[in-house]
Amino acid sequence: MWRATALTLFPEMFPGPLGESLAGKALKEGVWSLEAVDIRRFARDRHGTVDDAPFGGGAGMVLKPDILSAAIEAVAVPGVSKLLMSPRGAPFSQARGRELAAGPGVLLVCGRFEGVDERVIEAHALEEVSVGDFVLSGGEIAAMAVMDCCVRLLPGVMGAAESASEESFEDGLLEYPHYTRPATWAGPDGTERRVPEVLVSGHHGRVAEWRRQQREEITRRRRPDLWDRRRTAKTNEDQ
Ligand code: SAH
């Protein structure tokens, strides 16, 4: 069983959205397990203090190293990757999600306030991971995003094995556009919109070719960064 542990000040937030749909079903079936552990359990005074003012001054509070470290030591399992949710971390990716899903599980530390004492990151060699260039008020939603990405990649969670292989990012390209019935649909302005003809042609080869072209075009236009990276990778492959 793939094991996810979240260290958080808000354990009641879990499983939250992960209790529904694909991830929720897999959770009930025991494909993966989720434990949300309250960092406050490791506080040592009767007020349950977990944070303190930053040395050097400045706004906000910082999670105390002694408390957070005790919590990490209590729940860490050998072989399980230890990640700290952090806006200054490496951008989380489908590729990293695949690696983590192939391992025994993850321990995700959810920050709050201004963040955590730097020494804990060093001492536990926490891998700092960001879910995007924006600031959340806590690491919980970021941790759920990481868990969800990993869980849907676990064997048996998604229906057909190939349903993951053509998705966005899997091969450095974004996904092609989808269409379903009715073949002609009049939108709110009354304009009739027809699905691309090739999709109803019944010609599998032409459909595959159209989808490949769409993926390349969309990636080139929307994400030049992905497009350039892919071209560099291809050039290196060819050499
Ligand atoms: N002072 C910090 C922001 C703290 S936000 C800074 O300027 O970088 C509080 C917590 O929310 C962080 O400790 C982190 O755990 C989480 N968090 C916020 N934004 C995040 C993001 N983009 N990715 C991952 N975690 C994030």
Band of pLDDT at residue 161, cut at 50, 70 and 90: low
Band of pLDDT at residue 57, cut at 50, 70 and 90: very high
pLDDT > 80? residue 81: yes
Share of residues in the chain with pLDDT > 90 (%): 92
pLDDT of residue 134: 98
Q: The CATH number of 166-238 is which of 1.10.1270.20, 1.10.3210.10, 3.20.20.370, 3.20.20.60?
A: 1.10.1270.20
pLDDT > 80? residue 182: yes
Tell me, yes or no, if the pTM score tops 0.75.
yes
pLDDT of residue 128: 98
pLDDT > 60? residue 64: yes
Q: Is there a contact between 148 and 4 (Cβ–Cβ < 8 Å)?
A: no
The answer, yes or no, to whether any atom of ligand 1 lies below 6 A from the CB of 114, is yes
Q: Which of 44-53, 60-69, 92-101, 225-234 has the lowest mean pLDDT?
A: 225-234
Write out pLDDT tens, residues 105-132: 999 999 999 999 999 999 999 999 999 9
The answer, yes or no, to whether any atom of ligand 1 lies below 6 A from the CB of 55, is no
Pocket mutation for ligand 1, best pick of 7, 86, 92 (most atoms within 8 Å of C-beta): 86
174-193: average pLDDT: 97
Band of pLDDT at residue 167, cut at 50, 70 and 90: confident
pLDDT of residue 163: 72
**CATH level 3 topology of 2-151:** Alpha/beta knot (3.40.1280)
The answer, yes or no, to whether any atom of ligand 1 lies below 6 A from the CB of 115, is yes
Write out pLDDT tens, residues 17-32: 999 999 999 999 999 9
pLDDT > 70? residue 89: yes
92-113: average pLDDT: 98
Write out pLDDT tens, residues 145-156: 999 999 999 999
166-172: average pLDDT: 88
Query: Where are the chain's structural domains?
Result: 2-151, 166-238
Instruction: Find the 139 Cα to ligand 1 centroid distance in Å.
Output: 6
pLDDT of residue 115: 96
The answer, yes or no, to whether any atom of ligand 1 lies below 6 A from the CB of 112, is yes
pLDDT of residue 69: 98
pLDDT > 80? residue 87: yes
State the distance between the two ends of the chain, measured CA to CA, in whole angstroms.
41
